[in-house]
Structure 1
Amino acid sequence: MTIRAVVFDFGGVLFDWSPLHLYRKLIANDHERQWFLDNICTQAWNTEQDAGRPLAEATRTLVDQYPHHETLIRAYYDRWPEMLRGPLPEGVAILKALHAVNMPLFGLTNWSAETFPYARANYPFLQCLRDIVVSGELKLIKPDPAIYHASLGQVRAHLPDIQAGEVVFIDDVAGNVEAAIALGWQGIHHVSAERTAAQLRELGVGF
């Protein structure tokens, strides 16, 4: 099947986002820093905000549990932009190259509805995308099949007759790619920009 649309994940593909970028400034000791991120402000906790939980509620709940860590907990979202180091140039180069040859491009990201506007306002390359599904806005999250159905529906708003097999999804999390493939999409597990570009070309995408 000819690829007629490409859907990009954001973190790890187009954006360099990590809590470490902030907490290296706040916790000098490597072991203490990792303990805090593994046990207090965990990835699982952050994922709940990506799934739609309000940041204020999430912060309040954690502060109630761990009051002696309140300052560090509040920093997570008060200083959230410091976790977003910026674009990953090689991934963005693929996005722009595809845009230059008029490939329809879309986004599908696990991201809080409250923090995503910062990215949209500060990173103009997102304008290359015709539409973006943000998990926090839908209160759905990858790899739930429902969010892929929502994304495909968004693609079909622009390309009404497109089939799932004509869409390729690029994500740095293997399980998210596998979920897309299970629904009939093409999928690329993003390990490096070079490898992703090669796999796109193997699928017949010229750029």
Structure 2
Amino acid sequence: MDRADVEAFFEAVDFPTFNARQDAGRSWADARRELAEHHPEHVSTLDVYTENFAASLVGPVPGTEEVVRELRTLGVRLYGLTNWSAEMFHEAEPAAPAIGLMEDVLVSGRVGLVKPDPRIFEAATERFALDPARTLFVDDSVANVTAARALGFRTLHFEDAAGLRTALRDLGVGVREA
């Protein structure tokens, strides 16, 4: 399979939408059945993708795991809220070890809701017993940050670990300087 095959697959299935449906809880078996019905020429590409899913992950953002470790050492309670396929979430921690440092992670594919839907933030608030006014929500998506802010969360748009450190220090959290 070459790059052109992959690009044709991405375009034919509208991959961002396809992936969002996986994050919302559609099973990979259902995705494969739907693809076989509408785009049978791309079923083999999907099979290669799912068999090699871990290789498609870009890995952790440099420095982020260290910030998360510092926050844990400081006693900060850490929870995850992620848009991710339930069936593939087992690949997340090896690709981004900071996930394993969280007390708990709410996975969109397990609850059938995706950020920025307000209901997933409400589910997280209930599951983790959070007070949004006392909770900092950090995310790399402006849409997700905006949704959380509208629900009363304190928010931070994540761009890199150095910026996260600076923002945390500005909030009075005792992480070391970037």
For the aligned pair, the TM-score class normalised by the smaller chain equals 0.7 to 0.9
TM-score, with structure 1 as normaliser: 0.77
Distance 1:66 1:94 in 2: 43
Q: Report whether the alignment pairs 1:96 with 2:64.
A: no
CA deviation after TM superposition for structure 1 residue 69, in Å: 2.2
Task: Verify the 8 A CA contact 1:105 1:130 in the aligned structure 2.
Answer: yes
Kindly provide the amino acid, as one letter, of the partner of residue 170 in structure 1. V
SS of residue matched to 1:133: strand
Structure 2: 5+ residue stretches without partners: none
Task: Verify the 8 A CA contact 2:12 2:39 in the aligned structure 1.
Answer: no
Q: Report whether the alignment pairs 1:28 with 2:3.
A: yes
Spell out, residue by residue over 1:136-188, the C-alpha distance to the aligned partner (whole angstroms, 9 max, x if none): 111111111111011112221xxxxx521110111111000000000000111
The partner residue of 2:143 within 157, 161, 175 is 175
The partner residue of 2:24 within 25, 45, 51 is 51
Distance 1:196 1:123 in 2: 16
Structure 1: 5+ residue stretches without partners: 1-25, 157-161
Q: Report whether the alignment pairs 1:106 with 2:79.
A: yes
Query: Which has the larger share of helix?
Result: 2
Query: Which has the larger share of strand?
Result: 1
Distance 1:112 1:45 in 2: 11
Name the structure 2 match of 1:198. 166
* Residues paired across the two proteins, number: 175
Kindly provide the amino acid, as one letter, of the partner of residue 27 in structure 1. D
Task: Verify the 8 A CA contact 2:60 2:95 in the aligned structure 1.
Answer: no
TM-score, with structure 2 as normaliser: 0.88
Distance 1:165 1:39 in 2: 43
Give the RMSD, CA atoms, in angstroms.
2.0
Kindly provide the amino acid, as one letter, of the partner of residue 144 in structure 2. N
Distance 2:25 2:124 in 1: 17
CA deviation after TM superposition for structure 1 residue 127, in Å: 3.1
Name the structure 2 match of 1:16. none
Give percent identity, aligned residues only: 34
Query: How do residues 1-207 of structure 1 correspond to structure 2 at under 5 angstroms?
Result: 26-29=1-4, 33-40=6-13, 42-120=15-93, 124-156=97-129, 163-207=131-175
Task: Verify the 8 A CA contact 2:65 2:97 in the aligned structure 1.
Answer: no
Bigger Cα displacement from structure 2, 78-87 vs 104-113:
78-87
